[in-house]
Structure 1
Amino acid sequence: MSEPVTLTDAKIAGLRPPERGRVEIIDKVVPGLRVRIGPSGMVSFIVRKRVGGSIKNVTLGRYGPRFTLADARKSARTALSDLTAGKKVVPAKRDSLTIKSLWAEYVLTKAKLRSHHEIIRIGEKHVLPELGDRMADAVTRGEVTRFIDGIKAPVMARLVHAQLSAFYTWALPRLDKLDSNPCRDAGRPSKPKARDRVLTETELATLWRVADAQAEPWRSAVHLIILTGQRKSEVFEARRGEFDLGAGVWTIPAERAKNEETHIVPLSASAGVVLEGIAEIEGSKMLFPAKGNPDKPASGIGKAVERMRAGLRAELGDDVPQWSLHDIRRTVATGLQRLGIRFEVTEAVLNHVSGSKGGIAGVYQRHNWADEKRAALDAWAAELQRILQGAKADNVVKLRV
């Protein structure tokens, strides 16, 4: 057993994680208080005391700016006194102040917002995996900066920063030890220039062929994005029950749509052919389930896109400008415009709540454009066939996928 030492913040900061197991150091100032460090480097305080014939252990909490050595000694004295008196010691429920627990409360307060689904998505995908177990009042602006810097997509990094900042604005009145919002002075990416990348006809035709050479789910998923113009998340996270091939309709439920409005996507004959060719995985409701986890959508999209980018460069040269799956959506919209499709119909196809459907106009304009959307996507399917066959604009042929 190690000899007790007079613990200081400097000594605790200088502790080095062991390769295996845990190291405990006994405090000389408050006998029974110990500081513990494991291989992960996490430092925590515990109290150990013999009561009667048994050893009692009480975990006090993690060491950090918001739970210092002085805080630990104060909590330890209280715990030791209670143990001596035979009382049951229940440490303060600091777990209730983790970002994970507070985030659950925060999300409930936003249930009526249109962005509710987006808040949940950002939390589950970005915030909670990285910061969920941290005490909310212990996160610093430096940690926020490093967390945001680790999100490589600038647009998403800004969205996560904004949502985390909104969370802390809500949480501040509930955190006695936090003086200010740590996101306020944390670094974040500059606002990116709006993308305007549209694939050329040659690029689009080449992408279709390159995708056709990919394994599932990438082949069919990219073909569906090209044929329907829907968001990649809506395609990759689709459930089989959303599709009615007999009626030629795909219904994206409100909880999956970005704008939280149910979206009806008419399916062209070509889209129907793609869907019919997707093998159903027994026991899975997903259209594109993950391997080994049929309840989750396929993962590895980023690597698949990189392979397809490499395929385009191999066929068209290294000077092919960078493109993303979202650029396909913009390419479809541009193609519909070129075909003379009304702006309002294009917006309806994309399920945009902006432009013609935004503001006061959206209150009074309730037409769902169902017939017009179907005509538009059928026209786009025929146009895509022309592009794939390299035909001239006035020589449109029937699309066969």
Structure 2
Amino acid sequence: MPSEFLTDLKVKTIKPPASGRIELWDAREVGLVLRVTSNGKKSWALQYRSNVYDGTGRRRTKKVTLGAYGEGGGKICLAEARRLAIKTKAAIADGEDPSQLKVEDRAAAMADGRRRNVVNVATAVERFARRYEQDASIWKRHERPRILRRELVPKLGEQGIGELSLAQLRRQQTAIRERGSPIMANRYAEAVRAFFRWAVEEYAIDNPAEALGRVVDESDFSRDRVLSKDELAKIWVVSDTLTPLSRDFVRVLMLTPHRVSTVANMRYHQVDDKGLWRIPKKMKKQKVNDQMMPLGALAHSIVRSRFSGEPDDVDRLVFCSNRAGDTALQATSKIKAALDRTLAGSVVSWRFHDFRRSFATWAASARIDQSIVRKILDHGQARRDRLDAIYNRFEYIEEQRDALNQYARFIGVG
């Protein structure tokens, strides 16, 4: 990687990038790097070879944050950064790992004025969520904050952002796995790693989540659960024991059938008078273009029954969890648990996502054209369909609507 002899003037006057982050490597002190983000924040880090070997017999490369750039107040100037780099390298030569053990001078440099413990984890998570609230990716905008709020904040939210350790994060991940949610344990690791990558730059802290990995190979958890007609009917009936909000959410989820996060983020203005739901591409897994999806007669009736009729409410979420109408329903695991308690073992080993597989399986048995099924499920197209789509722009709206109405009758509710 290119390097240059950094000077105080160069470090002080470097302009931030338009987006992302740039790194300036010091030619005088090998491994020392100044990181500059698009919001103007500057921090020092040291890249080094750890004493841990990878599968090829090479020592793994790691980075450790030395501190935020600046003068006084716990911040680190160029000369101090070079001195800390030398001290840290000496500790590495003695067999220490600075990503786990803080050398004495580095701890002293961070002790006064650093924000590592001023902000707790809960506050940092909300700032992280606001950072991505306009992002096109539903994973960044919705799923990561949801996982952090549900899995990280309740247990560790009151601790300072710089106080968390890898051991604490792993204990929480183990608890998620042991409650029977190994896939969520993997998602937790992904969300926490992303959160701390952001926090390293925002608060100039070490990254305790760098080594937090997956707990299971997801290829071993391929789902093949298909709900029978009787099981779908039972879930429909017992959903009547839920609150009206949860009941309507479950039933629309069964009847569409779309992804949980997409249905949870449905807004009234996206559904026209004929029951045509325009799903913005930012809400979709396949972010190619907006999806025009017809609702079946019963699903459309449920959505319309929830609308107050007030003009100011057209921008509200259909399934909102607050009075302002701008927070999507999030407690889906609690809704599922409530259904399971009422079902009392009559339907087992199922999840909401199985509604999609159950619909696709029924559609195949009913000889519904698979291109129609893929449009409803918003799945990637087969090669022939992709070639055909170059010329054929017909949306097959009525064919989709007819398939969904047939499916409702199959369940016994259409």
Q: Which bracket does the TM-score occupy, shorter chain normalised?
A: 0.5 to 0.7
In structure 2, the residue matched to 1:351 is: 378
Partners of 1:124 and 1:101 lie apart in 2 by 7
Cα drift, residue 217 of structure 1: 1.2
Instruction: Choose the corresponding residue for 2:147, options 104, 116, 126.
Output: 126
Contact 1:164 1:183 in 2 (8 A): no
Deviation, 1:136, is 7.0
Residues 187 and 134 of structure 1, relative CA distance in 2, 3 Å threshold: farther
Q: Could you tell me which amino acid in structure 1 is paired with residue 354 of structure 2? A: D
Contact 2:193 2:212 in 1 (8 A): no
* Aligned residue number for residue 282 of structure 2: 255
Residue 270 of structure 1: how far off its partner (Å):
2.4
Shift of 1:233: 1.8
Aligned length: 305
Q: Output the CA distance in 1 between the equivalents of 2:101 and 2:125.
A: 17
Provide the rounded CA distance (Å) in 1 between the counterparts of 2:275 and 2:338: 31
Cα deviation, residue 71, structure 1: 5.6
- Offset, 1:251: 1.1
Tell me: CA distance 1:362–1:176, structure 2 relative to 1, closer, same or farther (3 Å): farther
Q: Distance in 1 between matches of 2:388 and 2:162?
A: 42
Is the 2:265–2:319 contact (alpha carbons within 8 Å) kept by the matching residues of 1?
A: yes
How many Å apart are 1:215 and its aligned residue? 3.0
- Separation (CA, whole Å) in 2 of partners of 1:203 and 1:287: 26
Amino acid of the structure 1 residue aligned with 2:408:
L
1:201-220 CA distance string (max 9 Å, x none): 11112222222443311222
SS in structure 2 at match of 1:251: strand
Q: In 1, Cα distance between the equivalents of 2:269 and 2:325?
A: 15
Change (3 A) 1:232 1:117: closer
Q: 1:128-161: per-residue Cα shift (whole Å, max 9, x none)?
A: 7637887777643313312323445322321332
Where does residue 117 of structure 1 map in the other structure? Answer: 138
1:273 is aligned to 2:301: yes
2:108 and 2:127 map into 1 onto residues whose CA distance is 30
Partner residue in 1 for 2:401: 377
Equivalent pair of 1:268/1:374 in contact (CA under 8 Å):
no
Structure 1 residue 288 corresponds to structure 2 residue 319: yes
* AA at the equivalent of 2:298: S
Residue 370 of structure 2 aligns to which amino acid in structure 1?
A: F
2:244 is the counterpart of 1:223: no
Distance 1:279 1:177 in 2: 47
User: Which residue type is aligned with residue 121 of structure 1?
Assistant: H
- Partner residue, 2:23: none
1:188 paired to 2:209 = no
Cα distance, 1:330 vs structure 2: 1.4
Q: CA deviation at 1:74?
A: 5.9
Counterpart-to-counterpart distance in 2, 1:150 and 1:363: 48
Normalized against structure 2, the TM-score is what? 0.58
Provide the C-alpha distance between the structure 1 equivalents of 2:408 and 2:244, rounded to a whole number of angstroms: 21
User: Structure 2: how far apart are the matches of 1:322 and 1:375?
Assistant: 32
Alpha carbons of structure 1 residues 366 and 157: separation in structure 2 relative to 1, 3 Å: farther
Amino acid across the alignment from 2:165:
T
Distance in 2 of aligned mates of 1:214 and 1:332: 23
> Which of 340, 349, 371 in structure 1 is aligned with 2:367?
340
Q: Confirm or deny: 8 A CA contact 1:267 1:374 kept in the other structure.
A: no
Q: Give the structure 2 partner of residue 141 of structure 1.
A: 166
How far apart in 2 are the matches of 1:161 and 1:366? 43
Aligned-partner residue type, residue 298 of structure 1 = L
Moved more, 194-203 or 93-102: 93-102
Report the 3-state secondary structure (helix = DSSP H, G, I; strand = E; otherwise coil) of the residue aligned with 1:297: coil
* CA deviation after TM superposition for structure 1 residue 236, in Å: 2.3
Please name the residue that 1:310 is paired with. 341
SS at match of 1:335: helix
Measured in 2, the distance between the counterparts of 1:239 and 1:202 equals 31
Counterpart-to-counterpart distance in 1, 2:74 and 2:242: 53
Distance in 1 (CA, whole Å) between partners of 2:168 and 2:408 is: 48
Tell me how far 1:94 sits from its aligned partner. 5.2
Structure 1: gaps spanning 5 or more residues: 1-57, 80-90, 390-398
Give the 3 Å change call, closer, same or farther, for CA 93–300 of structure 1 in structure 2. closer
